[in-house]
Amino acid sequence: MEPLRPDDPEQLGPYRLVARLGAGGMGRVYLARSSHGETVAVKAIRPEMMEDKNFRIRFRREAEAARAVGGIYTAPVVDAEPDAETPWLATAYIPGPTLAEAVSEHGPLPVETVLGLGAGIAEALIAVHAAGMVHRDLKPTNVLLASDGPRVIDFGIVRALDGYELTGSGTLFGSLEYMCPEQATGDPMGPAGDIFCLGSVLAFAASGHAPFSGAAAAALLYQVVHGSPDLTRVPEPLDKIISLCLAKDPSLRITPDRLSAACAPGGAEQMFKDGWLPAPVAATIAGYTAAVMDLDIAAREWDRLTSYTADPHDSVPPANCPQAAGSATGTRRAYDSAAAGVGVLTEVRAPEPCQFSEAAEPERPTPPAHHRARTWSRVSRRTVLAASVGTALVGGAGLLIAKKRTVAHAVQPLGPAPEPTWIYRGGPLLQAPAVFTNGTALLKARPGNILCLDVQNGSQPRWVYQGISQSPTPALLVDGVVVALGTGATVIGVDAATGTEKFTLDFGADYRFDQLFGSYGGSVVSAIGVRLQRQSAEQGVATSTNTVFGIDIQARRALVIPISPEDIGIPLEPVVLPGYFVYADGLRNVTVRRTGDSGSVLWRHPVGYDLRPGLAVLGRTVFAIGSELIALDLVTGKLRWRVKADRGQFASLGVAGNTVYATGTDPSGVYAFSAANGSRRWFCETPRLNVDNHIAVGRRKLYVPAFQNSNGFYAIDTASGRLLWNFTDGRETGINDWQLSCDGEGHLVAQHFDRAYGLPV
């Protein structure tokens, strides 16, 4: 839950917006109140969704379909307006975290809780299917945990069973990790598909990870269709129940009524009578409830205050002013915070916002009693609600900040951000940072282009090459040649200076390359993909997924680097160096393989906790992060030093010179450590960060993206650790994160969806 922002509407239909709840693929979700005092969640559809001329027709059908769904364990749709300027849909608000949030914060859930979860969601699917619907996107973020049981939400991509395709055809819909085989292969999906997705959701709840995974989309989809689920961390009897959901053949899957009975023999409602959730999750729900109550109080008080017509000549405080009459605690706290400055959460009492303005004017006759009023200083409804969000969340569940901390101040940059020296505007850019060569930055864009921008003035490309794949990794530089993947199993080389094609190598139908990792040995690039082994034309193909290749450009051959079984399905983000392939494997090890002799293991270092996939190498030292930051010798794997996080974990890395930088999650910020011995040099506290991307380190500054895309990114002085400034273009672009990268001279190229900004050294 977050405060409303300047670009958010005040009202959608009959609902006045109170706070932000989140954002998804289709739009933003807000907490709102109706004119009758009902609290709801309202989804406002993104403007770009309406570019499809058939969108409103589909959205109207989807809203009607979702309204038909009943049942105790769903969040019912209460209203919708598909023909509004901004189409919206309102559902009942359920105070509680998503399953994804609960597991991320508190770890896997107890067996009894997961059994209750299975029973409740199965009952929800019974209601969905009884209405002639298929949900099609059942995943942890679409399951809310309430004190009286789970709730299935987001019927935005349901499909009626009458054959009418509400979301169009020819496109994959849903989350890859939680798809059923029918979705992955493009076959029709019926009610049994929801059961498969439910099995994956329950596996996540019980173990903390999805049962299918892969380093690339193709590998992941293959696992869903052909692979065995990973249920090694799922305790009995959940493993047996989940296995009945995950049968590849839809006709062999357990039905939702049998699943509900298997999870709750005495009936689903019996599971939720006496505290079905572990204490930390129950406390979170209590915090949500308290926060919403405070916001409701603030909204009601604001409505009361603004319903009073003020007169500038009255000398008596209005009766409904909190100074004249007692006000509710939540509203008073909100007003205190608003007066002190939104986001500055202190205990210092400040003047109430309804204090009188004492503008000097000539004496006038006393107006009649019924006109008695006076001007009071203006604080907008948005400001009051924003302050109430901050106060409620700090005093309640701490939903915006870490629960174990008390924030006494807001973190503010020291000065304004510099103006960009240039701005490139074009088509959507791929989610891959820029690569630098000879004063230029190389970017990748849709539908498959390489752009060459001058770091001094990149408003217009020097050259554009068309025809690469849309893999989400940067291009590579090999002896002055820009190397990228094409379609299938092709590797393309482009002259870095002119953009002319140097070569295209096609390795044939027996291979497919998905992502480039790095280069080594002069002319060899490393990639992940699929090796196809054909048995016969009738039998089709058998694939070996997550295969790592060493592609020798000069010799025009692809060598397979075998990956151990425990690594299959792990999101690989290796560091590739001459002789070394360094990565975090699936068994909590830092693993180093050779690149020159079929990928044999040089060493493994067990850490005993979940590693973040992004590692870093500086000289002869490997850095890995999780609950600790560890430094390992590249050649031997010997531990050089370790630093444990005080709270939370270390989440992303950057290295330069003799310093290793790491983001922390609690408190949010960036640490600087000596690369030689791990001694701390400084810590810079920041607002919440997006920790899924590496830290971009320049000559004198480093750059880290904000948690919300619309908040841009932050600059920190590398010498002192001071938070310098915050740059943003104010745009919310959903899943399109900021991509930050620096060259050796300190030029920063910041990419955001369809724009790139060049910032000065």
Residues 118-127: tens digit of each pLDDT: 999 999 999 8
Q: For residues 465-482, give the mean pLDDT.
A: 91
At residue 299, the pLDDT reads: 60
Q: For residues 266-290, give the mean pLDDT.
A: 86
143 confidence band (pLDDT: 50, 70, 90): very high
Compute the distance between CA of residue 397 and CA of residue 390 in angstroms, rounded to an integer.
Answer: 11
160 confidence band (pLDDT: 50, 70, 90): very low
Compute the distance between CA of residue 198 and CA of residue 231 in angstroms, rounded to an integer.
Answer: 14
At residue 402, the pLDDT reads: 33
353 confidence band (pLDDT: 50, 70, 90): very low
Half-sphere exposure (Cβ direction) of 561: Cα atoms closer than 13 Å: 27
Compute the distance between CA of residue 38 and CA of residue 15 in angstroms, rounded to an integer.
Answer: 9
DSSP class of residue 141? Answer: G
Q: For residues 488-507, give the mean pLDDT.
A: 94
38: pLDDT strictly greater than 90: no
Residue positions annotated with a catalytic role: 137
At residue 121, the pLDDT reads: 96
At residue 360, the pLDDT reads: 36
What is the bridge-based pairing of β-strands 463-466 and 449-454?
antiparallel
566: pLDDT strictly greater than 50: yes
List, in order, residues 6 or more apart from 314 with CB less than 8 Å away: 367, 371, 372, 373, 374
Q: Name residue 672's beta-bridge partners.
A: 661, 682
CA diameter of the chain:
102
Q: For residues 312-316, give the mean pLDDT.
A: 41
What contacts 24+ positions apart, CB below 8 Å, involve 27-35? 28/732, 30/4, 31/1, 31/93, 31/292, 31/295, 32/90, 33/296, 33/299
Classify 62 as helix, strand or coil.
helix
The fraction of the chain above a pLDDT of 70, given in percent, is 77
- Domains, the chain, with CATH or none: 11-91+98-275 (1.10.510.10), 280-358+368-395 (no CATH)
537: pLDDT strictly greater than 80: no
At residue 51, the pLDDT reads: 65
355: pLDDT strictly greater than 50: no
Q: Select the highest-mean-pLDDT range: 73-87, 173-187, 492-506, 530-544.
A: 492-506
Compute the distance between CA of residue 201 and CA of residue 154 in angstroms, rounded to an integer.
Answer: 15
User: What is the tens place of the pLDDT at every residue in 316-350?
Assistant: 343 334 333 333 333 333 333 333 333 322 233 33
At residue 596, the pLDDT reads: 72
Compute the distance between CA of residue 201 and CA of residue 321 in angstroms, rounded to an integer.
Answer: 50
At residue 389, the pLDDT reads: 52
User: What six digits make up the tokens of 461?
Assistant: 């490309």
Compute the distance between CA of residue 752 and CA of residue 690 in angstroms, rounded to an integer.
Answer: 14
391: exposed, middle or buried (Cβ count in 10 Å: 0-12, 13-18, 19+): buried
Report the run of H or E that residue 27 belongs to, with start and end.
strand 27-33
Residue found by looking up tokens 């630093």 in the block: 643
Compute the distance between CA of residue 353 and CA of residue 240 in angstroms, rounded to an integer.
Answer: 60
376 confidence band (pLDDT: 50, 70, 90): very low
562 confidence band (pLDDT: 50, 70, 90): confident
Least confident piece of the model among 141-155, 165-179, 266-280, 567-581: 165-179
At residue 396, the pLDDT reads: 36
At residue 540, the pLDDT reads: 47
At residue 609, the pLDDT reads: 75
Mean confidence (pLDDT) of the chain: 79
Residue found by looking up tokens 């820009």 in the block: 482
412: pLDDT strictly greater than 80: yes
716: pLDDT strictly greater than 70: yes
Radius of gyration of the chain (CA): 28
List, in order, residues 6 or more apart from 345 with CB less than 8 Å away: 337, 390, 391, 394, 407, 408, 409, 410
DSSP class of residue 376? Answer: B
410: pLDDT strictly greater than 90: no
List, in order, residues 6 or more apart from 127 with CB less than 8 Å away: 69, 70, 71, 73, 74
At residue 724, the pLDDT reads: 97
Give 389-449 as a DSSP string. HHHHHHHTT-SSS-TT----S----SSPPPPPSEEEE-SPBPSS--EEETTEEEEEETTTE
Q: Name residue 617's beta-bridge partners.
A: 622
At residue 414, the pLDDT reads: 86
pTM of the model: 0.54
Least confident piece of the model among 22-36, 473-487, 531-545: 531-545
101: pLDDT strictly greater than 80: yes
Of residues 611 and 109, more confidently modeled: 109
C-alpha dihedral, 743 to 747 to 748 to 751, nearest 10°:
-80
553: pLDDT strictly greater than 50: yes
712 confidence band (pLDDT: 50, 70, 90): very high
Q: Which of 625, 667, 670 is nearest to 648 (CA)?
A: 667
Q: For residues 380-409, give the mean pLDDT.
A: 42
36 confidence band (pLDDT: 50, 70, 90): confident
Compute the distance between CA of residue 491 and CA of residue 501 in angstroms, rounded to an integer.
Answer: 11
At residue 534, the pLDDT reads: 56
At residue 378, the pLDDT reads: 39
Q: For residues 22-39, give the mean pLDDT.
A: 80
Of residues 476 and 737, more confidently modeled: 476
User: What is the tens place of the pLDDT at every residue in 359-375?
Assistant: 333 344 443 333 333 33
CA 28 vs CA 46, 94, 361: distances in Å: 7, 16, 47
The fraction of the chain above a pLDDT of 90, given in percent, is 41
Report the run of H or E that residue 577 belongs to, with start and end.
strand 575-577
Q: Select the highest-mean-pLDDT range: 122-131, 382-391, 555-564.
A: 122-131
Question: If phi over 0 gives left and psi between -120 and 50 gives alpha, with beta otherwise, what is residue 260?
Answer: alpha
Q: For residues 494-517, give the mean pLDDT.
A: 91
